[in-house]
Amino acid sequence: MWRHYLILSALLSLFPLICFPQDKNPDNQLRGIIRQYGQVEVTIPYPGLKSADRLSRNVSILSVKDNIIFISLSPLTVEWFINQGFIYSIPEHRVVRGIESATSSIQAMNWDKYPTYPQYDSIMQAFNMNYPALCRLDTIGTTIDGRLVLAIRLTGAIGNEADKPNVFYTSTIHGDETGGFVMMLHLADYLLNNYGNNERVTSLMDNLNIWINPLANPDGTYTSGKSITSPVRYNAEGEDLNRNFPDPETPHTIQQKETADMVRFLKKHRFVLSANFHSGDEVVNYPWDRWPRLHADNDWFYSVSRKYADTVHTGSKQGYMTFMDNGVTNGYEWYLLYGGRQDYVTYSLQGREVTIELDNKYITPSSQLQSLWQENWRSMVGYLENALFGIRGKVVSAVTSVPLKAQVFIAGHDKDSSQVFSDSLTGNFTRMVSPGIWNLSFSSPGFRDTVMSNVEVVSQQKIHLDVKMKPISYDTTKNGTPLLYPNPALTRFNALLPANLAGEITISIINYYGELISEEHNTYTPGFPVLIFTDKFPPGTYTVVFKNLIKGSSCNGRIVVIK
C-alpha cells in the first residue's frame, strides 16, 4: 500500500528546503515526491470551466487564487494527471514544521501542543468519565488501519435529549489540516468546564445536543504512528475523503470505509446544523459547491457565515480571515467541487452545513494554537446558537396526538431539497430561515396537508409552532373517484383509490396536450395509498388514470405539479 513508502525522516523537518534527485523530467519528480511523502502539490493556470470541471472530478483541487489552480495529487491520481498533459509547476514541498507533541495527556490539555494518538484517545475518554452527566463518548467507526473515529455528545438537562435538535462540529477530514483538531478538543473542554457557570454555554447545552468529532481522518494525521510527524491529506488508501460523499446527481460513489461510517452516523442523527473545519485558507464557505445556482436559503447562509467571520475580526490580528468576500464565500464562486460533505449533508439530509477554513497554513504550528483559539472560539459558540433560533415546533396527529414525520415546505421558496422534515419519533422540527413572513405547508402520508400562514421570523428569536394534522377520512367507494394528495404536488403525491381497483393496476399520467408521459405498474391494497413520484415532470396539470389489469375497472383524477 502507498503508505509504506512514507519514509520521511524526522531530521528533514530541520531544513527549510527539501532536495530531490536531479531528474529533470518533472513527471518523474512528481512520482518521486509521491513515493517519498504520499502526496504532492502542483499548480496550473486556470484552464477554463470545462477543464476545471474535469479536474474536479478526478483530482483534489485545494484552491483557486488569481487564476491559478492549486492541486493535490495522491498515488491514486498522479498518473491520471500526468496523462492529461497539463503544463504545471511544482511548488517547494511543504516541510512539516512547528509540530510539537505533548509529553502527556495533561500537557496536551493546555491546548498548545498536539496530542499523540493515545493521548487523544485518553482525552476523549476523560471527557466522558469526568462529566458523566453532560458527556457521552461514541464511535462513528474505524479507519482502514483500525484507528477509532470518535465523537462526543455534550448536553445538559439529561433526560430530554430526544426533544433537542442535534448539531455537529467535525474537523480534519484532511489529515494534514491540523489546527481544527485541537480547536475541537479545546471547545469541548471549554463547554464542559463552563456549563452551569456561563449563561451562554449553559443555554447552548440545555437546548441542544452538541456533537463534536475532532479528528475525522486519523490515518491521514498519524501516518507515521502515534505522533504527528508527516501527516497527509488522504486516508490510508490515498483517497480524499471530502471528495468521496454521494453527489446529489451521481449518488452511487464507491465510498471509503470512513465515508460509509460517517454517512451512517449522519443519517442516524440528522443534524439540523453543522460545520466542517479545514485549513489551507481563511474563509467560511457555504453551499453549493457543485452548482452555480444558489441555495434557497442563500441569504440565511450568507448571514450566518458573515457573522462568523465578522466575530473573528473583532478579536483577531489584522488581515486574518479576509479571503474572498472578507472571509466569506459561496463554494461554487471559489471553485467547483464534487463529492463534498457540505453539499451531501445540505442536499441529501436536508441539514445546513458550512465549511470553515481556519488557517492559511495547512499545519498550524503548535506555537500558534492558542492564538487560533482566541481568534475563533467566540465564532464557534455563536455559530451553534443559530440552531436555537428560527422556527421550531412539533407535528402530531390531531386525533391521537401521536408524533408524525412530516415534510415542512415553504411554497415559493424551497427548492433543491431545502425543505426539512419533522422527526418520526418526536414530531419535532427545526426550520432556520431568514427574517420575514413565511407560509409553511406540512405534508404527511394519510393526513390532510396543513398550512401555517403568516409565520413571522425575527432575527435571533425562536418561534414555536404546534402543528396538529387531521387524518384523511375519505371514502373513495362512494363516488368512484381517487383522492390525490398533496395537491399541488412538489416531488410526489399519494393516491387513495376505490376498493374495486384492488390488485394489480397501471398508472398512466397524461399531460395537458393529451400525451402519455408516464406509465407504471403497481399493486393497490384498499386503505393504503399508492405513492407516485413527480420530480421529473415539468410543472403543470396532469390527468392520472388508474386501471385494474384483471377487472378492467378504472378511475381518474387530476394533479397539479409545482416546482
Q: Where are the domains of the chain?
A: 2-83, 105-388, 390-469, 483-561
Quickly state the pLDDT bin for 473 (edges 50, 70, 90): low
pLDDT at 439 over 70: yes
Average pLDDT, the chain: 91
Q: Output the CA torsion 221→227→229→232 (10° steps).
A: -10
At residue 545, the 3 state secondary structure works out as: strand
Question: pLDDT value at position 253?
Answer: 74
Average pLDDT over residues 128-144: 96
More confident site: 535 or 208: 208
Cα–Cα distance measured from residue 6 to residue 230, given in angstroms and rounded to the nearest whole number? 8
Question: pLDDT value at position 13?
Answer: 35
384-416 pLDDT tens trace: 999 999 999 999 999 889 999 999 999 889 999
Quickly state the pLDDT bin for 478 (edges 50, 70, 90): low
Question: pLDDT value at position 158?
Answer: 66
37-78 pLDDT tens trace: 999 999 999 999 999 999 999 999 999 999 999 999 999 999
Is the pTM of the predicted complex or chain greater than 0.85?
no
Name the CATH architecture for the domain at 105-388.
3-Layer(aba) Sandwich (3.40)
Q: Which fold would CATH assign to domain 483-561? A: Immunoglobulin-like (2.60.40)
188 and 120 Cβ atoms separated by less than 8 Å: no
Q: Compute how many other C-beta atoms are within 10 angstroms of the C-beta atom of residue 405.
A: 15
pLDDT at 9 over 60: no
Angle, in degrees to the nearest 10, between helices 179-194 and 117-130: 20
Name the CATH architecture for the domain at 390-469.
Sandwich (2.60)
Kindly state the helix (H) or strand (E) to which residue 275 belongs, with its residue range: strand 273-278
Residue 129 to residues 52, 134, 194, Cα–Cα distance (Å)? 49, 10, 17
Give the rounded distance of the alpha carbon of 70 from its chain centre.
23
Angle, in degrees to the nearest 10, between helices 199-207 and 179-194: 100
Q: Quick one: cell of 449?
A: 396537508
360-373 pLDDT tens trace: 999 999 999 999 99
Question: pLDDT value at position 261?
Answer: 98
155-164 pLDDT tens trace: 997 667 888 9
Residue 544's beta-bridge partner residues? 509, 557
Kindly state the helix (H) or strand (E) to which residue 438 belongs, with its residue range: strand 436-443
Question: pLDDT value at position 3?
Answer: 39
Q: Quick one: cell of 30?
A: 512528481
Asked whether the domain spanning 483-561 has the same topology as the one spanning 390-469, the reply is: yes
Helices (H), 340-474: 341-343, 369-385
pLDDT at 12 over 90: no
Report the greatest alpha carbon distance in the chain: 88
Percent with pLDDT over 90 in the chain? 78
Percent with pLDDT over 70 in the chain? 94
Q: Output the CA torsion 320→194→275→212 (10° steps).
A: 130
Measured at the CA of 267, the angle between CA 264 and CA 270, to 5 degrees, comes to 145
Buried b (16+ CB within 10 A) or exposed e, 238-275: bbbbbbbbbbbeeeebebbbbbebbbebbeebbbbbbb
505-553 pLDDT tens trace: 999 999 988 899 999 998 898 877 888 999 889 999 999 999 999 899 9
pLDDT at 444 over 90: no
Burial of 454: CB neighbours in 10 Å, binned 0-12, 13-18, 19+? exposed
Judged by average pLDDT, the poorest of 307-321, 415-429, 472-486 is: 472-486
